[in-house]
């Protein structure tokens, strides 16, 4: 770590990064389930429970091909394995026919299951849930998260870190979530006032590089002086690693996959001392 440039700007993801609660995922799954025909609801919940326990071919770290109803294993953009919904492997010959080139994660046909949000979405798509229905379920879930019912526990040391950095380090929030509920979540955590810039509905990973290029120009820093912190490798890590930014990947589910991240931790509290170290020469102590 001694040869890394001092960090002058940090970009944080929100969900799964700045808080660690998980109860909302079950709530979200149930909202999607309710929008399915009665005969599919039990099947949906069965597969959801299997998937979150890594006992189903569809799981975090994989990709769901909506068009072909296949679960994919990707490496450097190429599909190296594929499974049918029942777990049956797709033969290599068929694999090369279906995916002769690198794939693009567009969140339309190809859904990257980078975190738990995408597990119920993908299972819902398999059982016929429309995109609009999943989006409505998401908005219902965010309403729940804004309510007093949803209790949040701040990550120890995070607020202190942000307060300490705020004077000398440019802090950005970049999330795919909408502004109203995200602001409520930040207020619950007591950190809503600790970002110089907040970007909502960020459309990561499609627009990730655009936001970081904009930040570089606005703050007048090099890419190597920007740090990205997030729990979704496709959204928060890969695109900015290609730009030359430093990255901390929060591998919540300890997937152990090969990563381009500069640092890998299992939770945000483990990232705090790394961030402190990377900013030490920039901060006026």
31-83 pLDDT, tens digit per residue, is 999 999 999 999 999 999 999 999 999 999 999 999 999 999 998 889 999 99
This prediction has a pTM of 0.89
Question: Which CATH superfamily groups domain 9-21+153-278?
Answer: HAD superfamily/HAD-like (3.40.50.1000)
Mean pLDDT across the chain: 95
Q: Where exactly are the structural domains of the chain?
A: 9-21+153-278, 23-146
Task: State how far the Cα of 46 lies from the Cα of 54, in Å rounded to an integer.
Answer: 13
Between 108 and 36, the more confident residue is 36
The pLDDT, as a whole number, for residue 260 is: 87
Q: Which residues contact 185 (CB under 8 A, 6 or more apart)?
A: 14, 19, 145, 146, 152
136-186 pLDDT, tens digit per residue, is 999 999 999 999 999 999 999 999 999 999 999 999 999 999 999 999 999
264-284 pLDDT, tens digit per residue, is 999 999 999 999 999 985 655
The pLDDT, as a whole number, for residue 283 is: 58
Instruction: Name the strand (E) or helix (H) holding 250.
Output: strand 246-250
């Amino acid at each position: 770590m001694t040869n890394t440039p001092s960090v002058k700007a940090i970009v944080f993801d929100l969900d799964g990064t700045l808080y660690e609660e998980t109860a909302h995922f079950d709530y979200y799954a149930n909202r999607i389930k309710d929008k399915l025909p009665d005969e599919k609801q039990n099947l949906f919940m069965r597969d959801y429970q299997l998937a979150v326990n890594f006992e189903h071919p569809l799981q975090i770290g994989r990709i769901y091909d909506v068009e072909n109803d296949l679960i994919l294993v990707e490496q450097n953009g190429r599909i190296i394995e594929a499974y049918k919904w029942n777990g049956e492997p797709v033969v290599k010959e068929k694999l090369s026919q279906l995916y002769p080139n690198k794939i693009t994660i567009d969140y339309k046909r190809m859904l990257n299951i980078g975190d738990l949000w995408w597990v119920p979405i993908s299972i819902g798509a398999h059982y016929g849930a429309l995109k609009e229905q999943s989006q409505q379920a998401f908005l219902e879930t965010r309403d729940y998260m804004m309510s007093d019912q949803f209790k949040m526990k701040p990550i120890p040391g995070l607020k202190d870190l942000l307060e300490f950095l705020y004077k000398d380090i440019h802090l950005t929030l970049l999330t795919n979530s909408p502004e109203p509920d995200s602001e409520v979540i930040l207020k619950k955590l007591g950190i809503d006032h600790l970002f110089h810039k907040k970007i909502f509905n960020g459309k990561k990973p499609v627009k990730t590089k655009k936001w970081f290029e904009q930040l570089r120009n606005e703050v007048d820093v090099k890419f190597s002086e920007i740090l990205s912190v997030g729990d979704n490798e496709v959204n928060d890590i890969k695109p900015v690693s290609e730009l030359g930014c430093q990255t901390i990947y929060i591998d919540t589910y300890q997937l152990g996959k090969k990563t381009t991240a500069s640092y890998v931790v299992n939770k945000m509290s483990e990232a705090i001392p790394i961030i402190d170290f990377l900013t030490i020469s920039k901060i006026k102590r």
